[in-house]
Amino acid sequence: MNFFTQLENRIEVKGTLLCIGLDPSITIESSGSIADTIFDYNKKIIEQTAEYTLCYKPNIAFYEQYGSEGIRALEKTLTFIPEEIPVILDAKRSDIGNTAKAYAKSVFGHFKADAVTLNPYMGRESIQPFLDWNDKGCFLLCRTSNPGAAEIQFLQTMRHKGETPEKLYIRVAKLAEALGPANGIVVAGNDPESLRSVRAVCPDVWILAPGIGAQGGTISDAIINGAREDGKGIIPVVVRHIIEDADPGKKAKEYHEAIGKALEEKKKIKSSGMSQKQLRKKNLIKRIIQHGCFKVGTFTLKSGDLSPFYIDLRRLISDPVLLSEVADAYCELLAPLVYSRVAAIPVASVPVGTAICLKTGEPMIYPRIPVKKHGSGAPIDGEYTAGETVVLVDDLISAGVSKAEALEVLRAEKLVVKDLVVFIERGTRGRKELEQYGVTLHAYTTIQEILEVLKEMNGVTEAEMKAINDFLTQ
C-alpha cells in the first residue's frame, strides 16, 4: 500500500484531514535523558490527538539539534506512532547522485517514514532517488509559509523564449504533477491566493499546507481554496496551536471539527452557484463587522457632519490573522497592476501596507502628511527612485480630494501614480474625482455590500438602514 492510498484509507475511517507537527520545543533539564524527555513530550501529544489525526509530521531539525539523543528520541517517537497513522518526515532534503540515494535510504530505510518533504531546487535528479521507493510519498517545496518566500518563489520564469511567464512556485507545482502520482507539494496554508492558483493548474495533486494557526493561516481558507472537488487532496498542518496547548487533545478536536465545517462550507459554495471568491469576500466582510471595524450609530466625522455609521479599519492591528486576510484581499487587486513600490497613506493604511508587502516581497514607502520640517525633513519615508511607478494604498475612499495631498507629495518627488487601491469604496464620488487626477480606483468592497452582509447578520434595523441610505444619497 503506497502512502497516498494510506491517506485515503485513513480519511475514510476517521474523516479527518488534520496533520499535527511533532516539533518539540522544550526545556531540557541538566539531569535525566534528553531522548526520554523529548519522547515523553511527544508520547503525551500522540496519545491525546491520534483520534483526530490523519498523519503526523516531525521536523527532523528539532531532533538533530540534540545530536544522537535527539535522533534516538525521533526513533522512539516514530516507533510509538500507531501503524495506521502515516508519518511525513519534514527533512527538506536536496542533493544528487549517491548523496540523494543516501538521504532517501536514511528517511525511508532507517527512519521508515511514509513520506518526506524535498527541496526541488536541484531538479529532477535530486528527487528521483526518493521516487524509487515506490510505496513512499514525496512533497516538493512549492510555496512555503515564511514571509520572505516571495523573493524567490514569486519570480516570473520562462523555459523557452516566447512562453508566457509564470511564477516559479507554479512551475514547481507542474513539475510535481508531471513526476507522477507519488508526489505532492507544500503550499502555504496562510496564503489562500497561492492555494487557489496551484489548485487551478493541478486539480488532483496532494497539498501539504503548513502555516495554520500560529502563522496566521485558517482551516477555512486552506480547505476552501486548497481541497479537491472530492473534499480531499489537502493536508492542513497545525503545530504550535496544538502541541503547546494545555489540552492538545481538545485543541486537535477543535481543528478536526473546523475542517468538517470548512468542507460543508465548500459544498455550499458549489451548490449555491456562488463562486469561492464571492463567498470569501462575504466571510471577510462578516469578520470585519464582528471585529468592530464597521459600526452603526451616531458619529461625528472629521468634517463635523453626523454619520449614522463609522468605519475604523485601524482596529485591524489588534487581530494579526484578520489583518493578514485583509492584506490578501488587497493582493488580489494589486496582482494585475504594474508598479515598483507600494505607497501607503498614513495613518490607517500603513499597517495594511506593511502586511501587503510582507506577502508580496515588494518595498513600501509613505508620504509624510503634512511634510515635517524636523528630523531629516524628507517628504517621503522609505527608499525610492524618481520615475518609478508606485501604487497608492488606503483603507477607504469617500472623496477624491481626500487623496490629493498624498498625490501631490509623491508626484512632487517625480513618482508616477496611476492607481489607488482601497478596501472600502464609500460612494461613487471618489471614483469620479480621482479620474480628474489621472488615477484609477480599485476597491475590494462597497458600503452597499457591507450593508447586505450586516442585514443578513441582523446587525441593523430597518430604521438604521434607511438612515444610512439617506445619508449616502445626500
Catalytic positions: 92
Q: Find out whether 243 and 42 touch, Cβ atoms under 8 Å.
A: no
Among the listed residues 353, 238, 330, the one whose alpha carbon sits nearest the alpha carbon of residue 284:
330
Count, in order, helices (H) and strands (E) of the chain: 19, 18
d(Cα 262, Cα 129) in Å, to the nearest integer?
A: 37
Of the candidates 75, 81, 65, which has an alpha carbon nearest to the alpha carbon of residue 19?
Answer: 81
Residue 157 β-bridge partners: 166
Q: What are phi and psi of 4, to 5 degrees?
A: -70, -25
**What's at 181, amino acid-wise?**
P
Cell numbers linked to 210: 503548513
Q: Within 10 Å of residue 143's Cβ, how many Cβ atoms?
A: 27
State the amino acid at position 324 in one-letter form.
S
Rounded distance, CA 275 to CA 281, Å?
10
Listing DSSP states for 172-215 in one string gives HHHHHHHT-TTEEEEE-TT-HHHHHHHHHH-SS-EEEEEEESTT
The answer for residues whose C-beta is within 8 angstroms of residue 370's C-beta and 6 or more apart is: 405
Cα–Cα nearest to 129, from 171, 95, 174:
95
